[in-house]
Amino acid sequence: MSLYLVTGGAGFIGSHLATELVQRGHRVRVLDNLSTGHRRNLAHLPAVDFLEGDLADIEACRQAVQGVDYVLHQGAIPSVPRSVSDPITSNRSNIDGSLNILVAARDAKVKRLVYAGSSSAYGDTPTLPKREDMPTAPLSPYALQKLVAEQYCQMFTRLYGLETVTIRYFNVFGPRQDPGSPYSGVISLFSTALLEGRRPTVYGDGEQTRDFTYVANVVDGVLRACEAPEASGEVINVATGGRISLNDLLRAMNTILGTSIEPIYAESRVGDVRDSQADIRKAERLLGYHPIVSMEEGIRRTLDWCREESSATVRA
Ligand code: UD1
């Protein structure tokens, strides 16, 4: 039994990691400032040691890493458009906060820190699928911040011998992704719109593509990265290896629901990437990772969750 610290553990991906760790019999501590996460995401996990605190506060980080074996650093302010409209707030969390947790983890001699990187680091470089050794070209403050923090991770491995692994996530979706925020992931926004009989908004022509990854795949990849002997100091894509356009995504969701709701097309978002698809061979090689839940199955589970949430809200 090990002690894991999940930063951002009250958020979408962090709460799934916490759930799986508890199921595997581990002890879990969460550090979260509840800026985008919610206590209710951990309500089913009473054994989790919850610390409300900010990554930008080094003392909160030092307290959180005490006695910890592994740090799963998920805490961040996500969303490309949010970072475009307010780059300073996201910088403070995504870069300053990451540096603080790295320093605290180094000083507390944790075994390994696994960092939530982002596919946005690749930007609009022409080659698909994206391999980890390809050049990066961040198009937004969010993409740049995520890239700087992964480089900090690699530097901490080289300079101080702190074992770090960056997992580059590709458009993760699933239950508990907050549909209440306009900055939420597109699948959660489409799900709530379709279930409420509203027309979803598509930014641009809808022909942009993404490697949408159901959250259980990411949880599996991150937990493998904690122990994989050859992963330290590495950057590794975790995704499905496929891609789908937003128009096709919407068609697939309409088919599952038996609806035929047309979107409203709006101006493309500034800082948006055109196409994104991961090469996952490095994850297969170093982590023994293979996607366990397909996009279609993930969409079904997400829609089921959204339905339950809305009926729970109606009952309350
Ligand atoms: C980016 C990153 C992703 C990261 C996420 C964090 C890329 C390729 N991916 O996701 O790894 O986890 O930021 O926030 O950079 N859209 C609509 N209608 C909507 C909402 C979004 O059409 O209501 C469009 C967007 O313009 C975009 C696509 O859907 O083209 C996906 O958007 P979103 O889910 O916000 O994620 P990315 O910005 O792709």
User: Residue 214 in contact with residue 280, Cβ under 8 Å?
Assistant: no
User: Residue 177 in contact with residue 187, Cβ under 8 Å?
Assistant: yes
Mutate to test the pocket of ligand 1, among 74, 118, 167, 171 (most ligand atoms within 8 A of CB): 171
Please determine, for residue 95, whether its predicted confidence score (pLDDT) is greater than 70: yes
Burial of 126 (0-12, 13-18, 19+ CB in 10 A): exposed
Distance 186 CA to ligand 1 centre (A): 6
Mutate to test the pocket of ligand 1, among 186, 222, 248, 295 (most ligand atoms within 8 A of CB): 186
Residues annotated as catalytic are 142
Distance 136 CA to ligand 1 centre (A): 18
Atom of ligand 1 nearest to the CA of 210: 8
Distance 47 CA to ligand 1 centre (A): 34
Architecture of the CATH domain 3-173+213-240+278-293: 3-Layer(aba) Sandwich (3.40)
What does the pLDDT read at residue 164? Answer: 98
CB count in 10 Å sphere of residue 101: 27
Which among 70, 2, 14 is positioned nearest to 41, based on CA atoms? 14
Q: Whose CA is nearest to atom 31 of ligand 1?
A: 186
Q: Which residues contact 23 (CB under 8 A, 6 or more apart)?
A: none
What does the pLDDT read at residue 180? Answer: 83
Average model confidence (pLDDT) for the chain?
96
What does the pLDDT read at residue 34? Answer: 97
Binned at pLDDT 50, 70 and 90, residue 314 comes out as: low
Burial of 314 (0-12, 13-18, 19+ CB in 10 A): exposed
Please determine, for residue 220, whether its predicted confidence score (pLDDT) is greater than 80: yes
pLDDT digits over 241-298, tens only?
A: 999 999 999 999 999 999 999 999 999 999 899 999 999 999 999 999 999 999 999 9
Domain definitions of the chain by residue range: 3-173+213-240+278-293, 186-208+243-276+296-310
Q: Whose CA is nearest to atom 28 of ligand 1?
A: 186
Q: Whose CA is nearest to atom 27 of ligand 1?
A: 272
pLDDT digits over 42-62, tens only?
A: 999 999 999 999 999 999 999
Q: CA 305, CA 221: separation in Å to the nearest integer?
A: 23
Q: Whose CA is nearest to atom 36 of ligand 1?
A: 185
pLDDT digits over 121-167, tens only?
A: 999 988 999 999 999 999 999 999 999 999 999 999 999 999 999 99
Distance 185 CA to ligand 1 centre (A): 6
CATH code for 186-208+243-276+296-310? 3.90.25.10
Please determine, for residue 315, whether its predicted confidence score (pLDDT) is greater than 70: no
Q: Are strands 201-203 and 235-238 parallel, antiparallel or unpaired?
A: unpaired
pTM of the entire predicted model:
0.97
